Amino acid sequence: MDIGAHVSKVEKGKAHYELLDGSTGVEEFDFAMLIPPFAGVGLKAYAKDGSDITSKVFAPNGFMKVDADYTPNLMKSGKQAIGQEHIKTQIIRIFLLLESLLHLHTSSPSL
């Protein structure tokens, strides 16, 4: 069975389905487990000029399209770019500061 298919009817040993493009098919089986289809909320999207851009923003199942680029990027803080190495350095500095403060607190004589 294809991804993006929705079962429309089940008979003994056969599952009838419809794909996102509207085409249909039948899959024969000995054992099957059906997972319900997932769908977005059916929102519409419009450009500033009022034209319908729903098909550009949402997939046929109603979920919003994303660029799916999850590679690490530089985070912007005002005009300064903060890279991962800078963040790691700052975290290490914070831990060293906390460690020294804890050491001072535990080594100071009690009153």
Domain boundaries, the chain: 1-37, 39-71, 75-107
Residue 43 has pLDDT above 70, yes or no: yes
Give the model's confidence band at 52: pLDDT under 50 very low, under 70 low, under 90 confident, else very high. Answer: very high
Query: What is the spatial distance between Cα 15 and Cα 32, in angstroms, rounded to a whole number?
Result: 9
- Residue 85: the pLDDT is 72
What single DSSP character describes residue 101?
A: H
Q: Can you give the length of the chain in residues?
A: 111
Give the model's confidence band at 78: pLDDT under 50 very low, under 70 low, under 90 confident, else very high. Answer: very low
Q: Are 8 and 24 within 8 A, CB to CB?
A: yes
User: Strand 80-82 to strand 75-77: parallel, antiparallel, or no bridges (unpaired)?
Assistant: antiparallel
- Residue 50: the pLDDT is 93
- Residue 92: the pLDDT is 84
Residue with tokens 């300064």: 80
| Chain mean pLDDT for the chain | 76
Least confident of 13-27, 40-54, 79-93: 79-93
Give the model's confidence band at 11: pLDDT under 50 very low, under 70 low, under 90 confident, else very high. Answer: very high
Q: Is the dihedral of CA 81, 82, 83, 89 positive or negative?
A: positive
Higher-confidence residue: 55 or 106?
55
Query: What is the spatial distance between Cα 86 and Cα 107, in angstroms, rounded to a whole number?
Result: 31
Q: Are 44 and 62 within 8 A, CB to CB?
A: no
Is 21 in a helix, a strand, or coil?
coil
